[in-house]
Amino acid sequence: MKRHRTASGSMVLTLLLALAGPAVAAEVIVDTAYVAKQKDKPGVVVLDARPDRAYKSDHIPGAITLGGRGAAVVLRDVDARILPVKTLEKILGEAGIGRDQEIIVYGNKGDTGMTVPFWILEYLGAEKVRAYWGGIDDWKAAKHPLSREERKLPAATFTAKVRGDRLASTDYVKTHLKNAAVQLVDARTPKEFSGDDIRAVRGGHIPGAVLIPFEQNWVDPEAAKKLGDGRVTSRDGMALKEAQALRELYKGLDPKKEVVAYCQTGTRSTLSYVVLRSLGFEKVRNYDDSWIVWGSRPDLPVGNVSYYDFVKVNAALKRLDQLEQQVDDLERAMKPKKTETR
């Protein structure tokens, strides 16, 4: 079929692209077939982002691990804040990861354990990072071989080329609150957003933020709850929605403008970050401090603000202390008394 480079043809193509919305970028989120094809190629590293115990139980053959409680934990501090760049370079380099390699990150299906290191690697300037959304669950479902053999790569040099436009600081968000070119996405629950579920000094949300809970990216937003209470036995509900459904979910956002995603600790929002990147949103930041910092700073504005009722909490704690004292007294009363022997 011939392609005619006419002015009208160009206009039609532009119109079609505008109507279709941002295209799904296949190089961001990959499937099982892609991983199976790429994993053993030179210059490709498969990173198992799960905790070390899960990795040692079974993993994709040839995959490496950062150990500990998983990559999402290893690459952040105790407050879930991203570690200093030099520290990250050291950790990744010692694991044999270089910035110029293709890095396929996987964990459990649809889990933030995979999306946190994906975001951090992009922040550090890695340009060929892939998110294997289906992870170990899809790999097993496809009946691909598994391994228990730990792989150690030769140490490499990871030289970061920091992309500051992938991370939002509290000052950045504060400065751009009234900037029409910056869009805020709150990836928390509706109750956190409304201020009914308070997880900092204050409840509520950042003014101007749009609520799109991160679970809405799953085919079944209730999947985690169902898994937790035993209604389902697999993570199938955490599969990614079809591209058209995702575009519909984020239709209120302008892909030409910047998006800043946040949650409680900048963890759940990395899942939204990855999805937005896959939909072709180029200007996406993850707000690392997120609500745990914003909601605890009285100098920052809050929409639908709410506060802890400390009087009520203290009264409840006092009642708890009284109940514990009553239990202790009852246990002492029920103990058999010692009799003296002569």
Q: What is the CATH number of the domain that holds 262?
A: 3.40.250.10
- The gap from C-alpha 30 to its chain's centroid, in whole angstroms, comes to 16
Is 224 a domain residue?
A: no
| 303 and 198, same domain (yes or no) | yes
| 87 and 169, same domain (yes or no) | no
Question: Which residues touch 129 (CB under 8 Å, ≥6 apart)?
Answer: 28, 102, 103, 105, 118, 121, 122
Is 320 a domain residue?
A: yes
Q: Measured between alpha carbons, how far is 216 from 276 in angstroms, rounded to an integer?
A: 13
Is 190 a domain residue?
A: yes
Strand pairing report for 202-205 and 303-307: antiparallel
Is 341 a domain residue?
A: no
| 182 and 122, same domain (yes or no) | no
Question: Which residues touch 301 (CB under 8 Å, ≥6 apart)?
Answer: 177, 206, 207
Residue 159 has a CB neighbour count (10 Å cut-off) of: 12
HSE of 251, CA atoms in CB hemisphere, 13 A: 8
Is 60 a domain residue?
A: yes
Question: Which residues touch 225 (CB under 8 Å, ≥6 apart)?
Answer: 231
| 168 and 317, same domain (yes or no) | yes
Q: Measured between alpha carbons, how far is 204 from 224 in angstroms, rounded to an integer?
A: 23
Q: Measured between alpha carbons, how far is 176 from 166 in angstroms, rounded to an integer?
A: 15
Which H or E run contains 291? helix 290-294
Question: Looking at residue 195, what is its pLDDT?
Answer: 96
Q: Measured between alpha carbons, how far is 197 from 211 in angstroms, rounded to an integer?
A: 14
Question: Looking at residue 27, what is its pLDDT?
Answer: 87
Tokens representing residue 308 in the block: 């802890």
Is 175 a domain residue?
A: yes
Question: Looking at residue 332, what is its pLDDT?
Answer: 75
| Number of domain units in the chain | 2
Is 114 a domain residue?
A: yes
From first to last of the 342 residues of the chain, give the pLDDT tens digit.
Answer: 333 333 333 333 333 333 344 444 448 999 999 999 999 999 999 999 999 999 999 999 999 999 999 999 999 999 999 999 999 999 999 999 999 999 999 999 999 999 999 999 999 999 999 999 999 999 999 999 999 999 999 999 999 999 999 999 999 999 999 999 999 999 999 999 999 999 999 999 999 999 999 999 999 999 999 999 999 999 999 999 999 999 999 999 999 999 999 999 999 999 999 999 999 999 999 999 999 999 999 999 999 999 876 556 566 556 777 777 777 777 777 776 655 554
| 66 and 202, same domain (yes or no) | no
Is 1 a domain residue?
A: no
| 129 and 168, same domain (yes or no) | no
Sign of CA pseudo-dihedral 110, 114, 119, 121: negative
Question: Looking at residue 12, what is its pLDDT?
Answer: 34
Q: Measured between alpha carbons, how far is 276 from 22 in angstroms, rounded to an integer?
A: 10
Helix axes 268-278, 112-123, angle to 10 degrees: 70
Task: For residue 113, give its domain range.
Answer: 22-162
| 176 and 295, same domain (yes or no) | yes
| 204 and 311, same domain (yes or no) | yes
Q: Measured between alpha carbons, how far is 9 from 57 in angstroms, rounded to an integer?
A: 56
| 109 and 151, same domain (yes or no) | yes
Q: Nearest 5°: phi and psi at 338?
A: -75, 135
Q: Measured between alpha carbons, how far is 264 from 288 in angstroms, rounded to an integer?
A: 9
Please report which residue ranges of 80-207 form alpha helices under DSSP H.
Answer: 85-94, 112-123, 135-141, 170-175, 190-194
| 171 and 119, same domain (yes or no) | no
Q: Which residue in this structure is represented by tokens 């692209």?
A: 17
| 57 and 137, same domain (yes or no) | yes
Tokens representing residue 25 in the block: 């970028």
Contact 130, 27 (CB under 8 A): yes
